[in-house]
Chains A and B, each alone.
Chain A
Amino acid sequence: MKDHLHAVSGQVIAIGVALLMGAIIILMVGESPVRVFMTLLRGAFGDQEKIAGTLLQTTPILICGVAACIGLRGGMFNVGIEGQLFLGGFAAAWVGFAMPLPAGIHTLAALALAVVAGAAWVAIPAYFRARYNTNEVVSTILSNYVAVLLTSYFTIFLFKRPGGWSETPPILATSYLPEIFAFSRLNWGLVIGLVLAVGVALVFRYTRWGYGVTMVGSAPKFAEYGGVNVKRQGFLVLLLSGAVGGLAGGVETLGVHHRFMEGFAPGFGFDGLIAALLANGSPVATIFTALFFGALRNGSLLLEVDTSASREIITVIQALIILSVSAQVLVRKRGDSQAGERRWKF
Chain B
Amino acid sequence: MLSNTPGSPTLHSNAAMAVELTGITKRFGAFVANDGIDLAVRRGEIHAIIGENGAGKTTLMNILFGLLQPDEGSIRLNGEEIVIADPSVAIKAGLGMVHQHFKLVPSLSVADNVFLSMEIRRHGLIDHAAQVARTRDLSKRFGLQVDPTERVGLLSVGIEQRIEILKVLVRGARTIILDEPTAVLTPQESRELFQTLRSFVAEGMTVIFISHHLEEVMEVSDTVTVLRNGRKVATRPTAELSKDELVHMMVGREVSFDRRPRASLHGDVVLEVKDLWARDDRLLPALRDASFTVRSGEVVGIAGVAGNGQTELAEVLSGLRPASHGGAWLKGQNLTDLSPAAIRQAGLAHVPGDRMVRGVDRNASIAANTLMGRQHRAPWSRGGMLNWNAINQNAETLIKSFDIRARGPSDAVKRLSGGNIQKVVLAREFTDGADFLLIDQPTRGVDIGAQEAIHDEIMRQRAAGRAILVISVQLDELAALADRILVMFNGRIMGEVSGDDADEERIGMMMAGVAAPEFAAETAS
> Restricting to B314-357, which residues have a CB under 8 Å from any CB of A?
318, 320, 339-344, 350, 352, 354, 356-357
Asked if B386 lies at the interface with its beta carbon under 8 angstroms from chain A, I say: yes
Which chain A residues numbered 291 to 346 have a C-beta less than 8 Å away from chain B? 338-341
CB distance from B431 to the nearest CB of A (A): 15
Contact B376 A208 (CB under 8 A): yes
Per the bound structure, the CA–CA distance linking A338 and B418 in Å amounts to: 13
Q: Quick check: is B384 within 8 A (CB to CB) of the other chain? A: yes
Nearest opposing residue in chain B for A212, CB measure:
B375
Partner-contacting stretch, out of A191-199, A220-228, A234-242, A246-254: A220-228
**Residues B341 and A338 in contact, CB atoms below 8 Å apart:** no
Question: Across the interface, do A339 and B362 meet the contact criterion of CB distance under 8 Å?
Answer: yes
**A209 CB within 8 Å of chain B:** yes
Interface residues of chain A, those whose CB is within 8 Å of chain B, are 3, 206-212, 214-215, 218-219, 221-229, 338-341
What is the CA–CA distance of A225 and B314 in the complex, to the nearest angstrom? 11
Is B385's CB under 8 angstroms from A218's CB? no
One of B344, B352, B372, B388 near A215 (C-beta < 8 A) = B372
- Tell me, in angstroms, the Cα distance from A214 to B372 when the chains sit together: 12
Known A-B contacts A218-B364, A224-B320; the reply to A208 vs B412 at CB < 8 A is no
B262 interface residue per 8 A CB criterion: no
CB distance from A41 to the nearest CB of B (A): 37
Q: Does the CB pair A228–B384 fall under 8 Å?
A: no
Closest 6 interchain pairs by CB? A227-B341, A219-B361, A226-B372, A208-B381, A226-B373, A227-B340
Asked whether A221 lies within 8 Å of B358 as measured between CB atoms, the reply is: yes
A225 touches B359 (CB 8 A): yes
Residue numbers in A under 8 Å from B199 (CB-CB): none
If A211-B368, A211-B386, A229-B339 touch, whether A222 touches B361 (CB-CB below 8 Å) is yes
Q: Is B363 positioned at the interface, with any CB of A under 8 Å from its CB? A: yes
Is the CB–CB distance between B412 and A338 below 8 Å?
no
Name the CB-closest residue of A to B350.
Answer: A225
**Closest residue to A346 on the B side, CB-wise?**
B363
Q: Which residues of A lie under 8 Å from residue B356 when comparing CB positions?
A: 338, 340
Q: How big is chain B's contact interface, by range?
A: 20 to 34
Residues of B within 8 A of A (CB): 318, 320, 339-344, 350, 352, 354, 356-364, 368, 371-373, 375-376, 381, 384-386, 388, 412
Q: Which of A207, A225, A338 contacts B362 (CB 8 A)?
A: A338
Q: Give bound CA distance, A227 to B388, whole Å.
A: 20
Decide if A206 touches B388 in the complex (CB within 8 Å).
yes
Given A227-B373, A228-B341, 6 more pairs with CB closer than 8 A? A214-B368, A215-B372, A222-B358, A222-B361, A227-B376, A229-B339
Q: How far is the CB of A336 from chain B (nearest CB, A)?
A: 8
Residues of A within 8 A of B362 (CB): 219, 338-339
Interchain CA distance A218-B414 in the complex, whole Å:
13
Q: Which residue of B lies closest to A210 (CB)?
A: B386
A207 to B364, CA, bound (A): 16
> In the bound complex, do residue A206 and residue B373 qualify as a contact, i.e. CB atoms below 8 Å apart?
no
Contact A207 B357 (CB under 8 A): no
Whether B357 contacts A341 by the Cβ 8 Å rule is yes
**Are A207 and B412 closer than 8 Å at their CB atoms?**
no
Which B residues are CB-close (under 8 A) to A228? 341
- A225-B352, A229-B339, A341-B357 given as contacts; is B364 within 8 A of A208 (CB)? no
B358 to chain A, nearest CB (A): 5
Q: Which residues of A contact B368 (CB under 8 A)?
A: 211, 214-215
Most chain B beta-carbon neighbours within 10 Å: one of A218, A225, A339, A341: A225
Taken together as a complex, chains A and B put the C-alpha atoms of A3 and B365 apart, in Å, by: 12
Shortest CB-to-CB span from B260 to chain A, Å, is 28
- Note all chain B residues with C-beta closer than 8 A to A340: 356-357
CB-CB < 8 A to A207: which residues of B? 384-386
Residues of the B chain whose Cβ atoms lie less than 8 Å from the Cβ of A212: 375
B384/A208 in contact, CB under 8 A? yes
Question: In whole angstroms, what is the CA distance A294 to B27 when docked?
Answer: 52
Interface centre among A210, A218, A221, A338 (most CB of B within 10 A): A221
Q: Are B340 and A222 in contact (CB under 8 A)?
A: no
Closest chain B residue to A227 by CB distance?
B341
Residue in A206, A209, A214, A221 whose beta carbon sits within 8 Å of that of B357 in the complex: A221
Give the nearest-CB partner of A1 in chain B: B410
B432 to chain A, nearest CB (A): 11
**A215 near B364 (CB under 8 angstroms)?**
yes
Task: Name the distance in Å between B106's Cβ and chain A's nearest Cβ.
Answer: 16
Determine which of A209, A218, A227 lies in contact with B361 in the assembled complex, contact meaning CB atoms within 8 Å. A218
Give the Cβ gap from A231 to chain B, nearest Cβ, in Å: 11
